[in-house]
Amino acid sequence: MAPKYTQAALDSAVQEVLDGTPATVVAEASKIPVTTIRKWVTNAKNGTTRKRRGPKPLLPVEAEDAIQDWVIGRQIVRYPVGRSEILKKAQEISELVAGRAVTDGWYKRFMGRHPDLTNRSAQLLSKTRNAVEFEDILLLFSSMAKVIIETGATADQIFNVDETAFCKAAKSKRVVAVRRSKNVWTTTPTTSFHMT
| Model confidence pTM above 0.75 | no
> Which residue from 140, 137, 125 is spatially nearest to 77, judged by alpha carbons?
125
Q: Which amino acid is at 72?
A: I
> Which residue from 53, 54, 52, 56 is spatially nearest to 98, judged by alpha carbons?
56
What is the C-alpha to C-alpha distance for residues 118 and 84, in angstroms, rounded to an integer? Answer: 14
What is the C-alpha to C-alpha distance for residues 120 and 27, in angstroms, rounded to an integer? Answer: 46
What tens digit of pLDDT does each residue of 23-55 get? Answer: 999 999 888 999 999 998 998 888 877 776 777
Q: How many CB atoms lie within 10 A of CB 72?
A: 16
**Cα Rg of the chain, angstroms:** 29
What is the C-alpha to C-alpha distance for residues 138 and 136, in angstroms, rounded to an integer? Answer: 5
Residue 83 near residue 174, CB atoms below 8 Å: yes
* All structural domains of the chain with their residue ranges: 7-46, 61-115
> Which residue from 60, 58, 61, 80 is spatially nearest to 70, judged by alpha carbons?
80
The DSSP annotation for 23-40 comes to: HHHHHHHHT--HHHHHHH
Residues of the chain with pLDDT under 70: 1-2, 52, 125-130, 161-172, 185, 187-196
For position 38, what pLDDT does the model report?
A: 92
